[in-house]
Amino acid sequence: MVRTMTALRLVIPTLPAPPWLVYTANLASDLLGLPQPMVIVGADDGGRAEGPRIGYGVATLDQAPRIPRLPCAADGAMVGVDLDCLGLGRRSVLVLRDTIEAGSGRVDLLFNLFSYVSCLAEWEHERASGSRQSYACRVRGDAARYDRPWANYLLLALAEEIERAFPGSVDSSRKQARVYLTHDVDVLDKKLPTRAKDTARHLFNAARDLTRGRMGDAAGSLVQAWRMVVDDNDYFALRHIAAVEEARRVKSAFNVFTACRPSGFGEAWVSRLLDPTYDSGDDARLRPVLDDLVAGGWEVGSHFAFHSWRDPARMTAEIDGMRRRFGLERVRSCRQHWLRFSLGETWAAQTQAGIEVDTTLGFNDRPGFRAGLAAAFRPYDHQRQAAHEILAIPTMLMDTQLYYSRKMSTAARHERIATLLDQLIEVGGEACVIWHTHVFSPDHGWGQDYETLLDLIVAKGLATALPADVCSATGRR
């Protein structure tokens, strides 16, 4: 049981505290469930004040815990360091090499935490040369930083420091891990653009496999290309997905696309090639299905268009179109199509459009933890140097990562899914999963792996939730 205590003081050499530290202290207070947010004080006042305190870059007067202050990532090099994590014991955690104190080997937990959750390395690249558009391969540095929820381990290491010095001040019980199940509705029918795009993808894969001497894989891709051309399969799978989930007593969010008039000939052609192949107002089947889903406890979110990733006016128009066509009182959550995203612009635009929860924070080309974090949180606004108003739920897995981004056997896919769920369980974390609706068709045949995912969630004892649920969660500062 957590005892009631006065606010924990974070003692720094001098005030004022830099904005990144204020943000990180508030975030850590929230995610650790401290009874009160940390208060940052200067060494002169903090050294004399009564009550629990931690020195950050200073040695306090009463043998209170001390964290070295080394906010530096000069070359971005990362190394594994063993840390004591509350409730887990010793864990090797990936940290910035420059944040390790010479002699003691102690780690600047706070700057490493900020570096992860703010996507600092990615922000530096974006500031220099533009958005990475959610491709990990475009971000320089050690890709191992995406492999595990390292920021959660850093939080638990900080919790261990606090609890060791002030027993009973941190809840050491393991939180139940949580998965937010989501579906991006990209395709409703097998129209010519879908046939053309997927046929081209399979032909490209066949050519690539041939050049690498993988004759079996190349033959399989050619067969898939042929089937994409000649087979007529049903892609309207929303009711089927809901039935699969209902059988396991779970719910999900369906992100629906609403077209917005393109500005110019070039943009119109890009939209034709890359946006979903339908408009929510053109298919009479959607309204009754979505009505039933909402009535049954599922969520409907917005799947913003390819060109909307930094345009609040477009986002607002798309939301208004959804509300008008489907009789929705409000649209609270979203995901950007193709995960089109900028740290400097997208969350700000979504906030202006009235979105409360975003689930875009993941990569197209690999599963894992883009911000090193498995938790819903208010992300850092690098422009304003403060927390965004919007909540972000990291996405740790998208179906295409198991099929398109790498060749994996069924057993390997199931092992990867199980590993990600186990990582959530260990840290009591939460994250999103994307499974597109059209991939339940025989053309893809990925529905069985989704059922395996659900069965593993149930068997391992994870909870499920809707993105909008985090809006009403307590303790989100």
CATH number of the domain where residue 407 is located? 3.20.20.370
Structure-token match 């039935």, residue found: 243
In degrees to the nearest 10, what's the CA dihedral of 243, 248, 250, 252? -40
* Per-residue confidence band for 60, with pLDDT thresholds at 50, 70 and 90: low
Please say whether the dihedral angle defined by the alpha carbons of residues 105, 110, 113 and 118, taken in this order, is positive or negative: negative
Do both 256 and 145 map to the same domain?
Answer: no
Distance CA(152)–CA(154), nearest Å, equals 5
- Do 182 and 119 share a structural domain? no
| Within-domain flag for 123 | yes
Paired residues of 42 in beta bridges:
12
pLDDT tens, position by position, 265-300: 778 888 888 889 888 888 899 999 999 999 999 999
**Same domain? 26 vs 100:** yes
pLDDT at 48: 61
Q: Is residue 456 part of a domain?
A: yes
In a domain, 215, yes or no: no
Amino acid at 235: Y
Does 49 have pLDDT greater than 70?
Answer: no
Q: What is the pLDDT of residues 207-243, one digit of tens each?
A: 888 888 888 888 888 888 898 898 999 999 999 999 9
Tally: H helices and E strands in the chain: 15, 17
User: Do residue 283 and residue 396 come from a single domain?
Assistant: yes
Tell me: the pLDDT tens digits for 181-212?
999 999 999 988 888 888 888 888 888 888 88
Both 246 and 367 in a single domain?
yes
Domain count, the chain: 2
Q: Are residues 128 and 182 in the same domain?
A: no
The Cα–Cα gap between 219 and 377 comes to 45
Instruction: Over range 319-326, report the average pLDDT.
Output: 95
In this structure, are 368 and 278 located in the same domain? yes
Q: What's the mean pLDDT in 380-406?
A: 94
Cis-peptide into 16, omega within 30 deg: yes
440 pLDDT above the threshold of 50: yes
> 186 and 80 in one domain?
no
Q: How far apart are CA 122 and CA 72, in angstroms?
A: 15
Please indicate, yes or no, whether residues 155 and 280 belong to a single structural domain of this protein: no
Question: Two tokens at 341?
Answer: 């995203």
Q: Assess if residue 35 is contained within a domain.
A: yes
Q: Is residue 225 assigned to a domain?
A: no
Does residue 207 sit within a domain? no
Q: At residue 255, does pLDDT exceed 70?
A: yes
Q: Are residues 153 and 237 in the same domain?
A: no
| 370 and 414 part of one domain | yes
Residue 142's pLDDT is what? Answer: 93
CB of 452 closer than 8 Å to CB of 417: yes
Angle at 36 between CA 10 and CA 477, to 5 degrees: 100
Range of the domain at 38: 9-165
123 and 183, same domain (yes or no):
no
Tokens representing 77 are 């090099």
Cα 115–chain centre separation: 16
Residue 211, domain member (yes or no): no
